A and B are shown apart, each in its own frame.
Chain A
């Protein structure tokens, strides 16, 4: 008898195929887990109406800008919870930041969940609550969603997709194509914390570390930056592939050379130490709360002051300069002056340094 009861409890407490069947179990899951969290402040009418789609008032959007930005991203990080964040926080910040990097003010997010049967409902609730908390922090609403449950082994615990829309104010024109010779290259803080935290959280190495992911929304920081420098040339968050990848993208798109100074790169000792042990390069480590900005040199100091005053940019610093192409490096590339006094090319990464980091 007691065995039966505990069996029933486990069944109640875990996701089963029934939760994806479209029936009662699914309806209850949506109501008690998703709507409960995403409308916890009763300020999410689009979601609360439980229609198949969220609907927006165009006139209201037009008051905030003249272009819509639209993006999507999927999240498969392993483990689901790591120091400094979890897959839910990541799923919101990732999409919010992708919108913010175009200078957009992020407004609405959708979410799609692919859940492996057997996932504890408590785990799902924790993730969903974290999503809502991050959404509130970023000032966005999660207004529509979808749930699928797949057989054990068909996915690993939980995958999330989010898409988002935002509005770009008139006059803002940020693009990877806009870097100009003489521009300053800025980063908003320590590099590689997310990638290092994930390696650490997997526990394969049993390192005694305190590295936390830098996972954070950057939209408010970007708005603060635009307020003092509406003419930001390029902006991208340095996620997978890290700083090196973003700088290579800028160099290629703008047909220029991005020159950085290794001694100016903000990297925590713990992260450098881990990279030394594992043979990883912090330039390629993933970040989830770091942006790389290319800005007119004249605005750089002013921007740094504003960024350092912002919670998401305390350790902002200028790391280099954009140069026109010339010998010896005649193709678009990233050139680093090493702390050792020599110069080397920083190419794009081949393959993955680490799998499933976001």
Chain B
């Protein structure tokens, strides 16, 4: 298939893997001289990258001295339970048609998921874009159509433009339940966490398409970590890893752009403008696993309050960002921060499986736990975990 197969070519992959091996060897040799043997910790922030890494078995192509840390960049995964509860409450109102992207349907709330709410009679419909939701509003003037607005900056422009279109067309029975989150404060929170030792970042390509390269400069300048904006095909990932390793090997910390075929330095200004018009930064927003993070979410500006489901239908639970804690034993937070691997969580493959997810990382196909579960030998991983436990207690 044209324009896709070129980015999955095994010969090019082999060459890149060889280069990665050489660079890693060189870096590790230098580190050994300095008496430092920790494997390299490289974080891919975005769930889309996590999915590609697993689907193409990229981890097994890499040297053991590279550990990929699967970051919190899956908006479905970091959706806190309280917000799911609110979504269920909104969807259960008799006048409401609640519209959502499919992968948010199975995220567990503290009582139920949207999928269970639908089975209990709520009118919940899967859509592919917010425009589909707006169309439903036009077709059902007697109902209130709420769109479950999710995602980082990638999906913000389409939500914003849909709201503006609703205003232009004078549609009043349409609103957004806004859970959009921002990339930069989230990365800032990760880098500021004293538990985290990261050597470099693969930054999200689609987000960068909107916000551009500049907002990531603080990673290189303040935190002195190399960062490469990365595309979503397997060769994109390998090439970006090479670029990060080159920087480490040469002692550089810069923002580089591997995904130039899509991402422009200054981003997409109509998209940025739409975001700016409709949204403002929240003081704080809760991200599952990371807790409350300052400025990590956006809300709808007062000028468009009539399109804000949170204001149209006051929510009792988490309107102010009150945390509903994860179930006991759930270690999504530690996995999101890269402190443990998904299979090291004691619930992985036990209480928590894709059929009965406890935490959000087991829900979305972009969640690190679901990816491990789907693409690895779960029994082997569980065995590995119990061996580890034994050696720790011994």
Residue ranges of A at the interface with B (Cβ–Cβ < 8 Å): 204-205, 269, 272-273, 276, 279, 328-331, 333, 338-345, 347, 350-351
B10 contacts A340, CB within 8 Å? yes
A330 contacts B13, CB within 8 Å? no
Most buried by B among A269, A328, A339, A350: A350
Measured CB to CB, the closest approach of chain B to A244, in angstroms, equals 10
B316 at the interface (CB under 8 A from A): no
15 A-B residue pairs with CB within 8 Å? A272-B1, A329-B380, A330-B379, A331-B377, A331-B380, A339-B8, A340-B10, A340-B13, A340-B56, A341-B13, A343-B57, A347-B374, A350-B353, A350-B354, A350-B355
List chain B residues, Cβ under 8 A from A328: 377, 380
A351 contacts B375, CB within 8 Å? no
B54 contacts A340, CB within 8 Å? no
List chain A residues, Cβ under 8 A from B376: 345
Supplied contacts A205-B128, A272-B1, A351-B355, 8 more A-B pairs, CB within 8 Å: A273-B1, A279-B365, A328-B377, A328-B380, A331-B377, A341-B10, A342-B60, A342-B61
B377 contacts A344, CB within 8 Å? no
Q: Closest chain B residue to A271 by CB distance? A: B1
List chain B residues, Cβ under 8 A from A272: 1, 4
List chain B residues, Cβ under 8 A from A339: 5, 8, 10
- Assembled-state Cα–Cα distance A229/B114 (Å): 50
B1 contacts A344, CB within 8 Å? no
B377 contacts A330, CB within 8 Å? yes
When each residue 368-380 of chain B gets 1 if its CB lies under 8 Å from chain A and 0 otherwise, what string results?
A: 0010011111011
List chain A residues, Cβ under 8 A from B1: 269, 272-273, 276
Measured CB to CB, the closest approach of chain A to B251, in angstroms, equals 31
- Given A205-B128, A328-B377, does the pair A343, B354 have CB atoms closer than 8 Å? no
When each residue 346-387 of chain B gets 1 if its CB lies under 8 Å from chain A and 0 otherwise, what string results?
A: 000000011100000000010000100111110110000000
A344 contacts B56, CB within 8 Å? yes
B55 at the interface (CB under 8 A from A): yes
- Assembled-state Cα–Cα distance A276/B365 (Å): 14
B58 at the interface (CB under 8 A from A): yes
Residue ranges of B at the interface with A (Cβ–Cβ < 8 Å): 1, 4-5, 8, 10, 13-14, 54-58, 60-61, 106, 128, 132, 234, 353-355, 365, 370, 373-377, 379-380
B377 contacts A329, CB within 8 Å? yes
Measured CB to CB, the closest approach of chain B to A319, in angstroms, equals 18
Q: Chain A contact residues: over half helix, strand or loop, or mixed?
A: loop
Measured CB to CB, the closest approach of chain A to B182, in angstroms, equals 23
- Assembled-state Cα–Cα distance A273/B128 (Å): 16
B379 contacts A331, CB within 8 Å? yes
Q: Closest chain B residue to A267 by CB distance? A: B1
- Assembled-state Cα–Cα distance A205/B128 (Å): 8
List chain A residues, Cβ under 8 A from B375: 344-345, 347
A341 contacts B14, CB within 8 Å? yes
- Assembled-state Cα–Cα distance A245/B246 (Å): 42
- Given A205-B128, A330-B380, A339-B10, does the pair A344, B106 have CB atoms closer than 8 Å? no
Measured CB to CB, the closest approach of chain B to A219, in angstroms, equals 33
- Assembled-state Cα–Cα distance A281/B356 (Å): 22
Measured CB to CB, the closest approach of chain A to B126, in angstroms, equals 9
List chain B residues, Cβ under 8 A from A340: 8, 10, 13, 56-57, 234
Measured CB to CB, the closest approach of chain A to B378, in angstroms, equals 8
- Given A328-B380, A329-B377, does the pair A344, B54 have CB atoms closer than 8 Å? yes
A338 contacts B56, CB within 8 Å? yes
Measured CB to CB, the closest approach of chain A to B9, in angstroms, equals 8
Measured CB to CB, the closest approach of chain B to A163, in angstroms, equals 28
List chain A residues, Cβ under 8 A from B13: 340-341
CB < 8 Å: which of A344, A347, A350 contacts B55? A344
Q: Closest chain B residue to A343 by CB distance? A: B57
A344 contacts B10, CB within 8 Å? no
- Assembled-state Cα–Cα distance A344/B234 (Å): 14
List chain A residues, Cβ under 8 A from B354: 350-351
List chain B residues, Cβ under 8 A from A343: 57, 60
- Assembled-state Cα–Cα distance A180/B5 (Å): 34
- Assembled-state Cα–Cα distance A272/B55 (Å): 15
List chain B residues, Cβ under 8 A from A276: 1, 4
Measured CB to CB, the closest approach of chain A to B224, in angstroms, equals 33
B56 contacts A351, CB within 8 Å? no
- Assembled-state Cα–Cα distance A279/B52 (Å): 11
CB < 8 Å: which of B54, B60, B132, B373 contacts A204? B132
List chain A residues, Cβ under 8 A from B56: 338, 340, 342, 344
- Assembled-state Cα–Cα distance A329/B383 (Å): 12
Measured CB to CB, the closest approach of chain B to A2, in angstroms, equals 30
A345 contacts B377, CB within 8 Å? yes
